[in-house]
């Protein structure tokens, strides 16, 4: 198993020094859950280099000045550290023998992915995740932000899914990234169209055409969506289209590393997925799903779900999650 989506910072923290000890603790927690390999994938927008390159992109969205102001504040809070320092630390973790690959979670910037690719080409990344976190200046996944969440009642759900899917298609076609992270993140706040079939078909086709993998993530179980990303129907489409998959927790702190690994095993089995894909220097390689670790006496059993079933939601649509790292993906 893999945990190929890990952050070193909670969103609530502006600047926290990273350390090898933190990464070693992530690895230990993962290995106890039968997860042998990790990818460190901090958000691109955490770094000053991203701010220098992309800052102000929110002004392209002239429709929503309130959202643009909110995004400007969000970037000001988050884009505070140095990409070189992060990559150096990840490389040091590798050199120290920790089972990690060097990655990044790259956000989608409409019309600007060539600039993003040029910036990232200078770094020794093993894997790049591609994520659609916002549509224009709208952070549709920021459950703690009332301005962003208020937007859900001002827009048609179908139109949101359409715009999200078009963004995902452009992201995939750009060739900038290797893995589509949380592919149906647009469901995060619990708003779904009556039928998702058209958008699922397009998402699977976009990944297949671009030669990208798709991430199977337990993070959705911690959100109002109350379901892994992607939904089983979308995962089955990825499998049918020959799209390889990774597994991931999207943890932003130790507590969630390898979260619901057994639940993800069940989901993979339900979709008939029997292998994963890892990356070295952005070259894919097969990785075994492996077997769950034996539970020894005195250790708590990790939470599991039955095949095809979601775990019970911890929050309902429209309610904000507690103010921790899990508010955004």
**Identity of the residue, 43 or 65, whose beta carbon is nearer to Zn ion in the bound complex:** 43
Shortest distance, position 259 Cβ to Zn ion, whole Å: 12
**Identity of the residue, 129 or 137, whose beta carbon is nearer to Zn ion in the bound complex:** 129
Q: Pseudo-torsion of CA 210, 78, 35, 143, nearest 10°?
A: -80
Site for Zn ion in 217-276 (CB under 5 A): 250
**Identity of the residue, 89 or 97, whose beta carbon is nearer to Zn ion in the bound complex:** 89
Shortest distance, position 247 Cβ to Zn ion, whole Å: 14
**Identity of the residue, 223 or 265, whose beta carbon is nearer to Zn ion in the bound complex:** 223
CB atoms within 10 A of CB 201: 15
Distance between start and end Cα atoms, the chain: 21
Residues 6+ apart with CB under 8 A from 86: 8, 18, 42, 46, 47
Site for Zn ion in 133-192 (CB under 5 A): none
Q: How many CA atoms lie within 13 A of 223 on its CB side?
A: 30
Shortest distance, position 13 Cβ to Zn ion, whole Å: 15
Taking residues 92 to 111 in sequence order and writing x for each that binds Zn ion by CB under 5 A, - otherwise, the string is -------------x------
**Identity of the residue, 62 or 104, whose beta carbon is nearer to Zn ion in the bound complex:** 104
Using CA atoms, how far residue 249 sits from 33, 127, 153, 182, 195, in Å, is: 12, 16, 29, 10, 27
Beta strands in the chain (DSSP E): 2-6, 37-43, 100-107, 127-131, 179-180, 213-217, 245-248, 276-280, 283-287
Site for Zn ion in 108-137 (CB under 5 A): 131
Shortest distance, position 26 Cβ to Zn ion, whole Å: 14
Establish if 329 lies at the interface with Zn ion (CB under 5 A): yes
128 in Cβ contact with 172 (< 8 Å):
no
- The residue with its CB nearest to Zn ion is 329
Q: Which residues bind Zn ion (CB under 5 A)?
A: 105, 131, 250, 329
């Amino acid at each position: 198993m893999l945990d190929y989506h890990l952050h070193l910072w909670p969103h609530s923290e502006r600047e926290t020094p990273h350390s090898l000890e933190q990464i070693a603790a992530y690895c230990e927690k993962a290995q106890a859950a039968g997860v042998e390999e990790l990818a460190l994938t901090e958000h691109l927008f955490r770094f000053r280099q991203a701010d220098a390159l992309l800052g102000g992109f929110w002004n392209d969205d002239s429709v929503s000045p309130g959202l643009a102001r909110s995004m400007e504040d969000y970037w000001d809070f988050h884009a505070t550290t140095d990409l070189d320092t992060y990559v150096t630390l990840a490389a040091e973790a590798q050199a120290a023998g920790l089972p990690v690959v060097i990655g990044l979670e790259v956000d989608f910037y409409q019309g600007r992915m060539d600039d993003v690719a040029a910036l990232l080409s200078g770094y020794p990344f093993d894997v790049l995740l591609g994520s659609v976190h916002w549509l224009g200046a709208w952070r549709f996944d920021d459950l703690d932000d009332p301005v962003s969440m208020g937007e859900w009642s001002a827009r048609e759900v179908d139109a949101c899914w359409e715009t999200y899917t078009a963004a995902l298609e452009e992201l995939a076609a750009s060739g900038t990234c290797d893995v589509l992270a949380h592919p149906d993140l647009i469901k995060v706040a619990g708003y779904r169209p009556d039928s998702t079939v058209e958008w699922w078909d397009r998402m699977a086709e976009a990944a297949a055409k671009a030669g990208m993998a798709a991430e199977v993530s337990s993070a959705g179980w911690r959100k109002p969506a109350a379901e892994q990303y992607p939904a089983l129907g979308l995962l089955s489409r990825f499998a049918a289209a020959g799209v390889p998959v990774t597994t991931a927790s999207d943890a932003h702190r130790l507590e969630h590393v390898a979260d619901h690994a057994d639940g993800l095993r069940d989901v993979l089995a339900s979709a008939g997925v029997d292998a994963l894909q890892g990356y070295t220097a952005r070259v894919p390689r097969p990785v075994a799903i492996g077997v769950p670790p034996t539970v020894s006496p005195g250790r708590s059993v990790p939470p599991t779900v039955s095949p095809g079933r979601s775990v019970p939601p911890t929050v309902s649509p429209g309610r904000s999650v507690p103010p921790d790292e899990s508010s955004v993906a």
